[in-house]
Amino acid sequence: MKNYIIAGLLSLFILSTGCGSQPDQKKNVSADGKNHKIAKQYTCTMHPDVLKDKPGVCPKCGMELVEKEKEK
């Protein structure tokens, strides 16, 4: 009987802390805790690690940055 009580309390604890829930997907929450729309991002076709919030040129190769497509 004691084992059932301990198992039930442990299950309740796990469910209440969110460990059993699905992992959070990326949220648009800034440091102040408010939701914000994601601004358009621009990237280089040759250097996808380059991300800018404005159009321009790649600092590595000088190519024109293109708008990054939203991930599905």
Q: Does residue 16 sit within a domain?
A: no
Residue type, 41: Q
Number of domains in the chain: 1
In this prediction, residue 41 carries a pLDDT of 94
Beta strands 42-43 and 51-52, pairing class: antiparallel
In this prediction, residue 25 carries a pLDDT of 46
In this prediction, residue 53 carries a pLDDT of 93
Q: Does residue 51 sit within a domain?
A: yes
Structure pTM?
0.45
Q: Does residue 67 sit within a domain?
A: yes
Q: Does residue 21 sit within a domain?
A: no
Name the stretches of the chain with pLDDT < 70.
Answer: 17-38, 71-72
Q: Does residue 15 sit within a domain?
A: no
| Domain of 48, in residue numbers | 39-72
